[in-house]
Amino acid sequence: MSALDNTRGALARIAAHDAQVNAFTEVLAERALAQAARVDAASLTGPLVGMPFAAKNLFDLKGIPTRAGSKIRRTAPPATADATLVARLEAAGMVCVGALNMDEFAYGFTTENSHDGPAHNPHDLSRVAGGSSGGSAAAVAAGMVPVSLGTDTNGSIRVPASLCGIFGIKPSYGRLPRSGATLFVAALDHVGPFARDVATLAAVYDALQGPDAADPAQVPMPVELVSPGMEAGLGGLRIGRLGGWFDGPQTPAARAAVAAVAKALGANGTAIWADAEATRAAAFLITSSEGAGFRLPELRDHLEDFEPLIQDRLLAGALLPAAWIFHAQRVRAMGKASMAALLAEWDILIAPATPTPATPIGQDILTMEGVSMPLRPSMGLFTQPISAIGLPVLTVPLQNAEGVLPIGVQLIGRPWQEAALFRAARVLEQAGLCAAPVAPAFTV
């Protein structure tokens, strides 16, 4: 099919389905059709040519304001250039069709945005899509686009990938450039893609790599393509399961998903990361403080315009003592060191992505195995500790049975070893255990 045919098809699916899902905050039909025409005229080749995608509205898209899920930035000047990752995908022949719903300023796990409305889970429209990249995951799960871009500070790629039943990759911290994306917590922010199959995810990840001096946090690593070695299997990989904190309260579905993936990958041991809980606590403090620091002018001048679900957390973060943040950074470094010791013995560690499948929109309390906890922060129980130390994670989806909500599992790797994660994910996909079909209600 031509790029124009693919793009018209994506725009038609968005027009037919997004009123139910609410994944898009902006549909860029004119831009998309013009880009598709350029792609067709250029006679490009490659696995991504002519493929539509969309980007979380945290990424700059030339000609529209970068809202970052907020009310405050709707009247901001339009972006004068595309974010680096958007530009790289279009250079590979892809076509950006729009901007996607998210938690305000990326501070949330459910995309229940009071300004734009909640993103609905395509597998059950009464349930959350996860967050903060909820629109990104929902758009892919509903078949409106095959690929989307998201960001992950404490789990914002992995949580929606798990709840919407798709693949998502959070690369090593510093692997992909964040230039042109509104930062939430510079010390923790990652960027990465979603897709419905491993080969597409790998091809997109490969296209996104490369140096960019505009992001001072990017590490000048050479491009390390994962697609060529994706079929190498598990030979030589030492695979285990994370226990301890990661055995904490969760639903039977989450436990069953981890057990199934561990069995399929031949995991032959359990690793205990003793500092997981403390590292998560450190991530909370760093997130709250640095997130508030970025938003301080708006907090002073437009407090009433902030999303009610994050307003109090940002205010608290602005008031945290510096000594607490200093200590949190020390705890974070301690957690990084102790995990490095574990990863000297393991190449991949398996853990739940979320403690539960998608929950109803508006639910505030999560009760699992007799333990009740606040629902929204608890979606990051198992993702936050990993984010804080910058490890690469590929989330794989399990569609347990017809009518049963999907749930994801984290494949956690050693720094800069994303290729091993793609090999393992491909084995799971080939075995038929992990798959990401379009949600049944949107297959027509």
List, by residue number, the catalytic residues: 56, 132, 156
Q: How far is CA 329 from CA 15, 26, 70, 347, in A?
A: 46, 38, 29, 26
| Mutual angle of helices 29-42 and 3-21, in 10-degree steps | 160
DSSP SS3 for 394: strand
DSSP codes, 205-245: HHHH-S--TT-TT---PPP--SSTTTTSTTTT--EEEE-GG
CB 302 within 8 A of CB 72: yes
- Please state, in angstroms and rounded to a whole number, the distance separating the CA atoms of residues 121 and 128: 5
Strand 190-195 versus strand 95-100 pairing type: unpaired
The residues with which 148 forms a beta bridge, in sequence order, are 54, 194
Read off the tokens for 137: 């995951």
Question: The tokens of 202 are what?
Answer: 């790998």
Give the CA distances from residue 251 to residues 164, 378, 430, in Å, rounded to whole numbers and listed in that order.
Answer: 17, 12, 26
Paired tokens of 183: 């930062």
Tell me the backbone φ, ψ of residue 148, rounded to 5 degrees.
Answer: -145, 165
Instruction: Tell me whether residue 341 is exposed, middle or buried, using C-beta atoms within 10 angstroms of its C-beta: 0 to 12, 13 to 18, 19 or more.
Output: exposed
* 76, 129, 264 from 159: Cα distances, Å: 29, 9, 22
Length of the chain, please?
444
Given a contact cutoff of 8 angstroms between Cβ atoms, the answer to whether 375 and 360 are in contact is no
